[in-house]
């Protein structure tokens, strides 16, 4: 059966996260419902590169599903978008080999974290950015902190204490900061990320920017392998899954 890879974007603010669950509106639930309509009521399972939490957005999430329908690649986006809520958009579709798996074939991801630096929370960006609440961060301190995190490290201190994977060694390939008008963006790429890792990195670097944490403390925080040593988990609404990489 042909396998279809989709690149999708979603506004996570109205969802209980990506992953389907017994109660509450989810991105996966909406996708599977739209696919079920196209498949005349047949259930279609969708596999994503990974879940995203409630309120977290995606500008380039990747999912796949198998289908017996011979819909050409160029028609899938329109077929799904007419059946999906405006909060979820299919950006592109492509037939891929059976060996492709949205999660297991992924070789890297890029996330974007956005703070809004105005004194008053923007009504237009309140679900799409994290307010700085008057803080004007020193971005050079955030960049200095980020340099200690880039590379291959055990990120135990930077993942939720609930994380149950054994191996917490991950490679962060790059962290860069961009200023867009009143917004500060952090763009982070890596081979893979642990649960809440991007939000804890964002929260910790924010503390460096605010002057509450010395960037030079980050090697010690990594070495401690203790979640309580890093900063607070930054709010969900500032986070975007931007890109999933496959192959080299």
User: Residues comprising the binding site?
Assistant: 111
Catalytic residue among 53, 73, 138, 154: 53
Cβ–Cβ < 8 Å for 167, 152? no
Among positions 4, 10, 55, 102, the unique one binding a copy of itself when judged by CB under 8 A: 10
Chain length of the chain: 248
Three-state SS string across the chain, please?
A: CCEEEEEEEECHHHCCCCCCCCCCCCHHHHHHHHHHHHCCCCCCCCEECCCCCCCCEEEEEEEEEECCCCCCHHHHHHHHHCCCCCCEEEEEEEEECCCCCCCCCEEEEEEEEEEECCCCCCCCCCCCCEECCCCCCCHHHHHHHHHHHCEEEECHHHCCCCCCCCCCEEEEEEEEEEEECCEEEEEEEECCCCCCHHHHHHHHHHHHHHCCCCHHHHHHHHHHCCHHHCCCCCCHHHEEEEEEEECC
Applying the rule CB under 8 A, the residues between 117 and 136 that interact with a copy of itself are 120-124, 126, 128
Binding to a copy of itself, residues 145-204 (CB under 8 A)? none
What x-and-dash track marks residues 21-60 binding a copy of itself by CB under 8 A? ------------------------------------x-x-
- Interface stretch with a copy of itself, choices 6-14, 41-49, 141-149, 199-207 (CB under 8 A): 6-14
Cα 138 from Cα 193, distance rounded (Å):
26
214 is annotated as an active-site residue: no
State the nearest-atom distance from the C-beta of 122 to a copy of itself, in Å: 7
CA distance 66 to 64: 7
- Tell me the closest approach of the beta carbon of residue 166 to a copy of itself, in angstroms: 36
Report residue 21 CA to chain centroid gap: 19
119 or 226, CB closer to a copy of itself?
Answer: 119
CB of 56 vs a copy of itself, minimal distance in Å: 12
Give how many residues touch a copy of itself by CB under 8 A: 20
| Closer CB to a copy of itself, 8 or 222, in the complex | 8
Annotated binding site for substrate: 111
Which CB, 58 or 230, lies closer to a copy of itself? 58
Looking at the Cβ atoms of 126 and 147, the one nearer to a copy of itself is 126
75-104 mask for a copy of itself (x: CB under 8 A)? --x---x----xxxxxx-------------
Residues that bind a copy of itself (CB under 8 A): 9-11, 57, 59, 77, 81, 86-91, 120-124, 126, 128
Catalytic residue annotation: 53
């Amino acid at each position: 059966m042909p396998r279809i890879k989709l690149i999708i974007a979603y506004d996570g603010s109205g969802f209980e996260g990506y992953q389907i669950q017994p109660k509450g509106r989810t991105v996966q639930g909406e996708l599977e419902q739209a696919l079920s309509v196209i498949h005349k009521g047949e259930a279609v399972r969708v596999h994503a590169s990974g879940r995203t939490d409630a309120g977290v957005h995606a500008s380039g999430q990747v999912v796949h599903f198998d289908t017996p329908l011979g819909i050409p690649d160029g028609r899938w986006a329109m077929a799904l978008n007419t059946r999906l809520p405006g909060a979820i958009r299919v950006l592109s579709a492509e037939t891929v080999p059976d060996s492709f798996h949205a999660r297991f074939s992924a070789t890297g991801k890029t996330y974007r974290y956005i703070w809004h630096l105005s004194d008053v929370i923007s009504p237009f960006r309140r679900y799409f950015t994290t307010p700085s609440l008057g803080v004007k961060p020193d971005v050079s301190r955030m960049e200095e902190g980020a340099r200690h995190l880039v590379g291959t490290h055990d990120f135990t201190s930077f993942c939720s204490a609930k994380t149950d994977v054994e191996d917490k060694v991950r490679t962060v390939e790059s962290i860069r900061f961009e200023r867009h008008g009143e917004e500060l963006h952090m763009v982070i790429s890596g081979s893979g990320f642990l649960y809440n890792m991007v939000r804890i990195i964002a929260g910790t670097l924010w503390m460096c920017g605010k002057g509450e944490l010395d960037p030079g403390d980050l090697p010690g925080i990594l070495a401690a392998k203790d979640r309580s040593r890093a900063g607070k988990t930054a709010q969900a609404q500032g986070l975007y899954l931007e890109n999933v990489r496959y192959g080299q």
